[in-house]
């Protein structure tokens, strides 16, 4: 991502994230629920960071220690009593002591706000010297949204739907809750907000009316409904996931990747896909996956925390777990699992194998059914397979163990000791061939099968005679 030019005045951000999210029916703070493998508040923080906003203060609720830890290194402040949005913003005042510039107020459960929209808000405030700029939008159904009332001199006030007149309810421009304000004006206006409403709460929206009474001007910027989607329930979380996946699929294809069946491919927000990558259906990219150019993923795969180098072929039905590093032109085949292992250039692990805590050297071949037995019940140990080695089918490599360059293991071997370069490791008993046994065995078995049939026929014949 290209660095954005520095704004003409510094902008701090306050992220409101103290809501309990009761409709989620979850012990996890609402804003930590993931969209595209990333907590929804993480999407907000990434956008603010890309816009070079600093400092960023996150307002959390009491007992939300896990949320406070997750937003580090940004500072978290606690709203111990939930007395409304204005009260929540005031909790960040001490953390912004001495700050001069603009302050943006956003919500941790609105993950799709874009940098372009925030830039528009900055530009409007700077051009018109507004004390406050509110981000509005025009939903298909304004419903219970607060309405933005525009007058000759800009934004006059914000009216809650339940308090709006019939004429005001006809207004389509609604309040998103996102506000940009001059720091000095913001703190002065917040000091005058009263809790004189049915809920006895301090509403942030009241600062618009207070600003106009003080002779200050307020402005509005129109935003897109989709980017202002708030997530308050599991159903809305699913809607947000669908929106993000469609964006990520389009981005991947626009970047030069082929998705055979786009609707069945799922990305994480941080997935990196190169050019001329072909992705088969029903493939899932968990967090931390990067794919270089000219990779062919054959579908029905699951990846997380893995890197796939140029020219590799993976799948179908492959699983790459954290720490998997697949080298250029390597092959990872069907029902192969790789975890915390390096598969070097041109190596092949094509069938029904588990490779964990290992190195597979360049152009080595790992036969079907191979297992690196990396865990002894107490710790993980390394299996080191040298370049050009050939691992026979159904081999168990008991780590820690090293297979030398060009070495081989016989089919079915259980390898507990290091194998020197170019050596063959076998430990099965000597094969014995018994000539003619198979024919005799078949004849014996066929005779056993025929006896019950003869007995049954004899019984039927006896009944007829009677």
CA-CA distance, 466 to 457, in Å (whole number)? 15
DSSP output for 133-183:
EEEEE--S--TTSPEEEEETTEEEEEE-GGG--HHHHT---EEEEEEEEEH
Q: Cα(261)–Cα(280) distance, rounded to whole angstroms?
A: 7
Please give the C-alpha separations between residue 245 and each of 41, 66, 239, 262, 270, in angstroms, as whole numbers.
Answer: 17, 27, 10, 10, 12
Catalytic pick among 130, 307, 351, 381: 351
Answer yes or no: are the C-beta atoms of 8 and 101 closer than 8 Å: no
Q: Are 21 and 40 in contact (CB under 8 A)?
A: no
- Partners of 132 in beta bridges: 181, 218
CA angle 164, 229, 87 (to 5 degrees): 60
CB 305 within 8 A of CB 287: yes
3 state SS of 302: strand
**Gap between the Cα atoms of 185 and 390, Å rounded:** 73
Q: What is the dihedral of CA 97, 101, 105, 108, to 10 degrees?
A: -80
- Residue 26 makes CB contacts below 8 A (sequence gap 6+) with 33
Q: How many CA atoms lie within 13 A of 431 on its CB side?
A: 6
Distance in angstroms (rounded) separating the CA atoms of residues 90 and 139: 29
87 tagged catalytic: no
Tokens of residue 96, six digits: 């912004």
Beta bridge partners of residue 326, listed in sequence order:
308, 343
Instruction: Dig out the tokens for 442 from the structure.
Output: 């078949």
- Active-site positions? 351
């Amino acid at each position: 991502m290209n660095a954005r030019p520095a704004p003409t005045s510094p902008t701090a951000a306050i992220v409101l994230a103290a809501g309990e999210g009761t409709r989620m029916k979850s012990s996890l703070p609402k804003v930590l629920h993931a969209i595209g493998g990333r907590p929804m508040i993480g999407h907000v923080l990434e956008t603010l960071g890309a816009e070079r906003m600093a400092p960023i203060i996150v307002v959390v609720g009491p007992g939300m220690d896990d949320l406070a830890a997750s937003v580090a290194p940004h500072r978290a402040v606690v709203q111990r009593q939930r007395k409304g949005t204005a009260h929540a913003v005031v909790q960040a005042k001490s953390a912004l002591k001495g700050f001069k510039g603009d302050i943006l107020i956003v919500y941790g459960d609105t993950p799709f706000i874009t940098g372009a929209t925030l830039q528009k808000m900055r530009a409007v405030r700077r051009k018109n010297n507004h004390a406050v700029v509110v981000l509005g939008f025009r939903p298909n159904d304004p419903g219970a949204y607060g309405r933005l009332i525009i007058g000759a001199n800009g934004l006059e006030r914000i009216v809650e739907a339940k308090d709006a007149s019939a004429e005001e309810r006809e207004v389509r421009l609604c309040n998103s809750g996102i506000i940009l304000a001059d720091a000095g004006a913001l703190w002065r206006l917040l000091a005058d907000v009263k809790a004189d409403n049915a809920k006895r709460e301090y509403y942030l929206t009241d600062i618009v009316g207070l600003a106009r009474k003080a002779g200050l001007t307020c402005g509005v910027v129109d935003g897109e409904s989709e980017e202002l989607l708030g997530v308050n329930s599991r159903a809305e979380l699913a809607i947000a996931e669908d929106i993000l996946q469609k964006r990520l699929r389009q981005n991947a294809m626009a970047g030069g990747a082929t998705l055979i069946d786009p609707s069945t491919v799922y990305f994480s927000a941080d997935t990196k896909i190169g050019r001329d990558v072909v992705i088969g259906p029903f493939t899932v990219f968990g967090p931390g996956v990067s794919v270089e150019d000219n990779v062919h993923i054959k579908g029905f795969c699951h990846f997380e925390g893995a890197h796939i180098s140029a020219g590799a072929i993976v799948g179908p039905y492959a699983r790459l777990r954290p720490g998997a590093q697949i080298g250029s032109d390597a092959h990872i085949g069907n029902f192969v699992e790789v975890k915390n292992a390096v598969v070097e250039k041109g190596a092949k692990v094509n069938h029904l194998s588990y490779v964990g805590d290992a190195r597979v050297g360049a152009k080595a071949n790992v036969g079907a059914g191979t297992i690196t037995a990396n865990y002894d019940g107490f710790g993980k140990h390394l299996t080191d397979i040298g370049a050009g080695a050939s691992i026979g089918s159904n081999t168990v490599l008991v780590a820690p163990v090293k297979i030398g360059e060009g070495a081989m293991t016989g089919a079915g071997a259980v390898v507990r000791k290091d194998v020197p370069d170019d050596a063959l490791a076998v430990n099965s008993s000597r094969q014995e061939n018994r000539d003619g046994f198979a024919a005799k065995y078949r004849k014996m078995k066929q005779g056993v099968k025929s006896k019950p049939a003869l007995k049954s026929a004899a019984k039927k014949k006896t009944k007829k005679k009677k």
